[in-house]
Amino acid sequence: MNKINALFANNKDRKLLSLYFCAGCPTFEGTGAVIKSMERHGIDMIEVGIPFSDPLADGPVIQSADTKALKNGMTVKALFGQLKAIKDEVQLPLVLMGYLNPIMHYGIEAFFQSCVESGVSGTIIPDLPFDDYLKVVKPIADKYDIRVIMMITPETSEERIRFIDEHTDGFIYMVSSASITGAQSSFGDAKLAYFNHINSMNLRNPRMIGFGISNKQTLTSAQDNAAGAIIGSKFVTLLNEVGDPDKALDLLFEALKN
């Protein structure tokens, strides 16, 4: 069974926590150390960002991390090499988060084949048109048993959400707002109403809520309304500040208590 599916199947009574970081930031060679540190700290799933020069869905924190990673020399090929080197040491699901341009340059089939070879279980491609996913990407991803995770936002229609739910597997990434990534102090009534509406739809796939989670209030709101939460910008900020993933994770867990 794909590790993403196994994670949700085996943890229906426990709220999950997934973290994002950008490969190659703060250092080119640190990818493996960050992943292994996350696993030691009990993180359930990891999103590894593929740096890109124009990350449209991301806020200033992740944009800055992308820029630094690219300056450090991170590429798709280099990232797969780093992941392959630790494949046998990592048990939790890895999800690659990256934009379509670098993946197409690498080659779509080669990309999914490399995912298998390096222990990657899924991918999130924010700018992948859904028609292209169905016609081009999904058949290749299915061939290699890699999950392609789709995002929904408060602006996604119910019809579209149900179509995504029908044609994807693994989990649905619920973006907490229609804006870019970045830490928020709380979720307002409109976002909570959106969470409640999605809950009432009784979708087939589990959901993870991301964007804006940085403290106890936002974490609790996300975990109360989905299978778990995804944290990105807050952890990326801490990792860049202290450089050491173990220290950054300790600081993150402290921040999530308040």
Active site amino acids:
47, 58
Give the separation between CA 31 and CA 48, rounded to whole angstroms: 9
17 contact partners, CB below 8 Å, separation of at least 6: 42, 43, 44, 228, 229, 231
Give the separation between CA 23 and CA 79, rounded to whole angstroms: 7
211 contact partners, CB below 8 Å, separation of at least 6: 175, 176, 177, 179, 180, 181, 182, 230, 232
Q: Are 202 and 158 in contact (CB under 8 A)?
A: no
Give the separation between CA 224 and CA 59, rounded to whole angstroms: 25
Give the separation between CA 254 and CA 248, rounded to whole angstroms: 10
